[in-house]
Structures are given as C-alpha cells and as structure tokens.
Structure 1
Amino acid sequence: MIRILLADDEAMIRAGVKAILAADAELEVVAEAADGRQAVDLAISHHPDVVLLDIRMPVLDGLGAAAEIRRAAPGCAVVMLTTFGEDDYIAKALDVGASGFLLKSGDPRELLAGVHAVAAGAAYLSPKVAQRVITQLSGGRMSAGARARDRLGVLTDREREVLALVGAGLSNAEIARRLHIVEGTVKAYVSTILTRLDVRNRVQAAIIAHEAGLVA
C-alpha cells in the first residue's frame, strides 16, 4: 500500500484528488493538510510514501513545505500539483528536491501513474509540464540540447543507458529488469550519474536526458 499525504488549501481540490486516488486499491490517503505548515507537520508524524503538494498555499507555500519535508522526512517523495503559468515555481521546486510535477487539470491517469512512479523511486513529469520546464530552464531547445549533450561527456556508455531509462520514468527495479542487472547496481549507477552531472535528483537528471535526446 502506498501511503499519501495530500496538501491543498482548496477543499474541493482535495476532495477531487482524493476521489481519483481512491479508485486505485494500492493507494491510501493517510492525512490531509490545508496549508504548507500542516503538511510539514503531518509528513513528519505520518511518514507517508508520497506527499502531494499544491505550490500555492497559505502560511507556508508548497516550495517552503517541500524543502522542509525533504530535510525532515527524506524518505517522503514530493510531488507538486501545479497549473500553467507557474514556471518559475516549478524551476525552484526542482532545486528543493521535488520528484514529480502534475497538472491539476491533467488526465486522472497521470495522477495515478505519477504517484506510483515516485513511490517506486522514479521521477515523473506530466508531459505538458515537462515541455514547459525544459523550455523555461533551457532558454531555447537547440542550445539546451547542445549543453546537455556536452554534459553527457562525463558518463560512460552504460551510465548513459541508465540515464535514458531514468529519463523515460523507470524506477530502479524496472531499470534492473530491463538491463538484467541487480537493483543495487542500478542505485550505484544513478548515484554516480547524479554526482557526475552535478544535479540533485532524478527529475533534474531526467530533464538532461530529454534535452540531450536520449529519450524519444
């Protein structure tokens, strides 16, 4: 069972998201918060597997809550719930360690897929969000692609192969099965990749993989 903390200051949004999650027997909402400070406190007390955070909340916004949760409860994967027009917030959330980004107006299947992905240790970007993040961070796709490909020069062929699968949203267990290696070896590869690319998390690594053309 994947245990979820849902944080949004709008009760109707929480109800809608909770209803979607309830359709999956493997997901359980164990706590709800109406502001960022509550979210941090509940994450520490409940130790959920996944925290779904609205970016804009009172008392403490989603960015501040995500940063505190990642420090105080590093075992919790953080997924940001966002709307279009919040590109600056998304870029900043990458820096505080968010593992995924989902559109509130997106397909409900993306919500379920995203929760499962981050709970399994993978990164997940809603496709429309991913395009906006890449564009916002890159300042132009061609130049971003060139920079990303240049950064890949520090990786071995095997590490590039693993990075491509990270970019495709696969978890460590799925990568291990695909490459016919043990999961511990995949974890070691991912750790090395993050260090060599000088990025904090799988989301940032996945963006580089997309920019460099490793992911179709």
Structure 2
Amino acid sequence: MHCIRVVIADRHPIVRQGLADVLGTERDFRLVACCGDGPSCIEAIRLFVPEIAIVDLPDIGGSEILAVTRAEKLRTRLVFFTGYIHDSDIASLASGGAYSVISKDIEPKLLLQILRQVASNHRLAPPTPYELEPAQETTKAKATHAPLTDRERQIMRLVSEGLPNKEIARRLNVTDGTIKVHLHHIFQKLEVSNRTVLATLAISQIHELDAPQEDRREASFEASPGTRSTVADKIRSVRNR
C-alpha cells in the first residue's frame, strides 16, 4: 500500500500531537516529521519530500515555506491549518501555490478525506475568512436539502476535484452555461453559497455521490449527533491526558 507521507509544522506541541493522533488511525498515512518552527519545517520538506505538509498559520510562516518549495521545485503540497485568515493572506497563499486552507474545527474524517484529495493532486481553493468559521454553512447543508439529480451529483463530485466549469462541461459534453444553471440549482437545494463549501460537503459524502440514484436511499447529509468530533476535540483530549 502506498503511504501518504506527511510533515506537520505547528509551534504548539498539543496541536502537533492531536494531528499525529488523527493521522495515526489510518494505514495510508505516514508521519515523517513534526516541526515547531518554519526553518525546521523547510529542512524536513527538503529531507523527506513528503506528499503533504500541514502548516500552522500564522505562526510558522507559510509564505516563506511556499516560496522555498516553489523556488526549489519540491513536490510537497502545502495545506494550511488555522482558525482565521485575512483576505490578503488568502491571495498570497493562492498565488504561491497553496493546495488548501483547513479550519482547526474540522472533523477528523473530513480532514483525512481532504488530505487524500490533495495527495491525489486536487487543489482545493483556499476559503474566505467567513468560510473558516466552524462549518456553519456546511452543517446547515447537511441538515435539510432537496434531493439532487444524478447529473447534479456528477457535477458536485467534479467540483470537489477542483475542476472549473469549462472542464466540467467538457467532461459531461454540455455547455458552460448548462453547468452554471446546474450549480445554481445545487446551491439552492443544499443552501450553500459558494464552491468551496460545496466541495467540502461533496468530499464528506463521496460514497453517496458515487452511488446511482436508483440504488441508494436518499442521503441525509447529516452527521450523527452523538459521534461528531473535530480535530480541535482531539487536541483538547491530548491536553487532558
């Protein structure tokens, strides 16, 4: 089995341990280094060339790490792990080649799914500061929605792969305008307002999207209230050990 090699960079030992615990539950991830600052993260990336580096913002210095990986043509994909980010930082990270920005309140299962997407070279657009608030819009979409058609589920799946409308239209042999109409209907049905939230929801429900409509029960898009936990919860549990 191919293992996705990961470097974690965060100045807080509790955060590093919490992320390590989440990754340690999965056989397809291998943690190769935990770093407490930017220079040691850069050194680890140069040494191990992992598929993914999870980097804390703003403490570690994401822009500098992006600049190094781009200048030295390192294959490591950078994922930023934070609670809040300014608009100017989003523009800088996106232009620098960031693959995703993830909220520290994300559920562990969804974090792992996003990391697998990134390891497969799917770039997930960095969200706005509003979208980094604890999954309010995604949770709303999970709670109630009108059933999606098979075509809408196809489009939702392709959006989760980071494809633009033009490429989705090419794959489905339709016009760009048709894709825009479908997306408008999807946004209305799921009560979401942008592609980033839609992609996050799609990744969390990937198996339902793959199933043909006649072979599946209507998906609820709802997490079990008693079992839902976040990476922040995992970090808190480490603190209480």
Which range, TM-score by smaller chain?
0.5 to 0.7
SS of match in other structure, 1:84: coil
Shift of 1:124: 2.8
Shift of 1:105: 1.6
Normalised by the length of structure 2, the TM-score is 0.53
Letter in 2 for 1:167: V
Letter in 1 for 2:195: H
Do the aligned residues in 2 keep the contact of 1:55 with 1:63 (CA within 8 Å)? no
Alpha-carbon distance in 2 for matches of 1:87, 1:17: 26
**Matching of residues 113-192 of structure 1 within 5 Å:** 113-124=113-124, 130=127, 132=129, 167-169=159-161
Q: Which residue of 1 aligns with 2:195?
A: 210
Q: Report which structure shows greater RCO (CA 8 Å, sep ≥6).
A: 2
Q: Which residue of 2 aligns with 1:16?
A: 18
Letter in 1 for 2:107: D
Do the aligned residues in 1 keep the contact of 2:46 with 2:74 (CA within 8 Å)? no
Alpha-carbon distance in 1 for matches of 2:162, 2:26: 20
1:28 aligned onto 2:20: no
Rg bigger for which structure? 2
SS of match in other structure, 1:124: coil
Residues 87-124 of structure 1: per-residue CA shift (max 9 Å, x gap): 43223211110011111121112210121011101023
Do the aligned residues in 2 keep the contact of 1:44 with 1:73 (CA within 8 Å)? no
Letter in 2 for 1:168: S
Letter in 1 for 2:105: S
Letter in 1 for 2:34: E
> Which runs of 5 or more structure 1 residues have no equivalent in the other structure?
135-162, 181-208
Do the aligned residues in 2 keep the contact of 1:47 with 1:76 (CA within 8 Å)? yes
Letter in 1 for 2:48: H
Q: Which residue of 2 aligns with 1:206?
A: none
Alpha-carbon distance in 2 for matches of 1:39, 1:33: 5
Do the aligned residues in 2 keep the contact of 1:6 with 1:32 (CA within 8 Å)? yes
Do the aligned residues in 1 keep the contact of 2:53 with 2:77 (CA within 8 Å)? yes
Higher helix share: 1
Shift of 1:166: 5.5
Alpha-carbon distance in 2 for matches of 1:29, 1:87: 31
**Matching of residues 13-162 of structure 1 within 5 Å:** 13-57=15-59, 61-124=61-124, 130=127, 132=129
SS of match in other structure, 2:69: helix
Q: Which residue of 1 aligns with 2:235?
A: none
> Which runs of 5 or more structure 2 residues have no equivalent in the other structure?
132-154, 173-193, 203-241
Letter in 2 for 1:43: I
Shift of 1:47: 0.8
Structure-2 change in CA distance of 1:94 and 1:45 (3 Å): same
Structure-2 change in CA distance of 1:166 and 1:70 (3 Å): farther
Shift of 1:131: 5.2
Alpha-carbon distance in 1 for matches of 2:84, 2:158: 25
Question: What is the percent sequence identity of the aligned residues?
Answer: 21
Letter in 1 for 2:161: G
